[in-house]
Amino acid sequence: MRIGLDVRYLSHGLVGGVRNYVAQFTETLVRVAVEHDIVLYADTKAPFELHHLPNNVTVRLLPWHGPQSSIYYDLFLKKYMQQDNLDIAHFTGNYGFGPKGSYCVITLQDEINLLPLKEIIAGHKKTPRVIAMMTYLHLMTRAAVQQADLIITVSEYSRQQIMRYSGISPQRIAAVHHACPHDIQRIEDPALLHDVRQRLNLNKPFILAEALKNPGVLVRAWRRLPQPIRDQYEIIFFSRSPDVLPIVHEAIRAGIARMFVRPQRSDLSALYTMAAVFVFPSWIEGFGIPLVEAMTCGTPIIASNRGSIPEVVDQAGYIIDAEDDQALAHYLVELLTNPDAAETLRQRGFARVKQFSWTKNAQRVIELYHSLLATRPSQPRAHVPKEGSF
């Protein structure tokens, strides 16, 4: 089988959930699918992130001359894929248009780009650039999913939402769970944890939260906590961007919280490991990678009931309404004052996270590729020479 992957997310110097998915999935697929030929399509905007790839993998580096190049490849990457005589053309970044003669697969993280445009724009800053970008992603995604042979998404919740907003039949959409990134793991070495405490000046035990995921409800819940708990603990926010809601900065000025922007991944592992509780009251998630990161590191979880979160957490955390600061405060008190309750969630998290594996993810995707090919009579493929760029 000849498989082509659009992995331009790995040559643009990006951060965030989609980039992390593309990296983890691609690294695992090329390791698992050793009997198949794989072509990775990137461009030259930034250095390509993956190295030491196996011999069955070819990297095609497409010349990048500016933003217009990204738009061009969005529309015409299929022309380059056509030259490689692919069986499967897999677009890992939410949309793409496959070449004739190949099955087109799209990984769509969630339904956001399929929502009515007014709803999409309402959730973002309304600058001309943002409006233009949201409109572009909306139009491209809606057009792409209608012509795709298969859509892979990250949870059953996302699968149902994609069906709802696209009208695509359930047979064309498959849910394949993500897993924990390889660079996040529980740290057992006390010396390493001590070094992070000293370097980050972590003088108090703390509650950990992501600053971009509904931080306001945590700050409101904090104000409900008994004074002895507030004296003993602090809130540590982490974020991939310094552009967070004002309430985070208010909490920092009040001396109840601190924030680390883009912490090193090893430091993030230490933060999860040391945190008394991980609070994730997100408004919406297609999957929620921080949840499996926390479970991997043994952090007790309190999370919202929105999106895929209950599906991912299952019985390994306390679930609340995303805006219920009273319930959040109640569960914080329980976990911060009852070691047995915290240990119960920790052990449930360790058990739950074993259900999520990048190897299982890649193997399931390969099974889906084979299912597509089983619908087409076999035919000889022309030899395609290995090249590094176009």
Give me the percent of the chain exceeding a pLDDT of 90. 89
Residue type, 281: P
The answer to whether 2-179+357-373 and 190-353 have equal CATH topology is yes
- Tell me: pLDDT of 126 over 90: no
- What's residue 92's pLDDT? 96
Residue whose structure tokens are 């360790």: 350
The pLDDT tens digits for 37-46 are 999 999 999 9
- Tell me: pLDDT of 138 over 70: yes
Across the chain, where does the E strand assignment appear? 2-6, 37-43, 57-62, 88-91, 103-107, 150-153, 173-175, 206-210, 234-239, 257-261, 277-280, 301-304, 317-320
- Tell me: pLDDT of 90 over 70: yes
Min mean pLDDT across 5-14, 15-24, 60-69 is at: 15-24
Helices then strands, counting H and E runs in the chain, come out as 15, 13
Rounded to the nearest 10°, the torsion over CA 257, 261, 267, 269 is 80
Class of domain 190-353: alpha beta
Secondary structure (H, E, C), 21-89: HHHHHHHHHHHHCCCCEEEEEEECCCCCCCCCCCCCEEEEEECCCCHHHHHHHHHHHHHHHHHCCCCEE
Compute the mean pLDDT over every residue in the chain, rounded to the nearest whole number. 94
Ordered by start, the domain boundaries in the chain are 2-179+357-373, 190-353
Instruction: Report the side by side order of strands in the sheet with 88-91.
Output: 57-62, 37-43, 2-6, 88-91, 103-107, 150-153, 173-175
Min mean pLDDT across 116-125, 249-258, 270-279, 342-351 is at: 116-125
CATH number belonging to the domain at 2-179+357-373, selected among 3.40.50.1980, 3.40.50.2000, 3.90.120.10, 3.50.50.60: 3.40.50.2000
Tell how far CA 373 is from the center of its chain: 28
Cα separation, 300 vs 348, in Å, equals 9
The pLDDT tens digits for 317-362 are 999 999 999 999 999 999 999 999 999 999 999 999 999 999 999 9
Cα separation, 196 vs 202, in Å, equals 8
- What's residue 130's pLDDT? 86
The pLDDT tens digits for 295-315 are 999 999 999 999 999 999 999
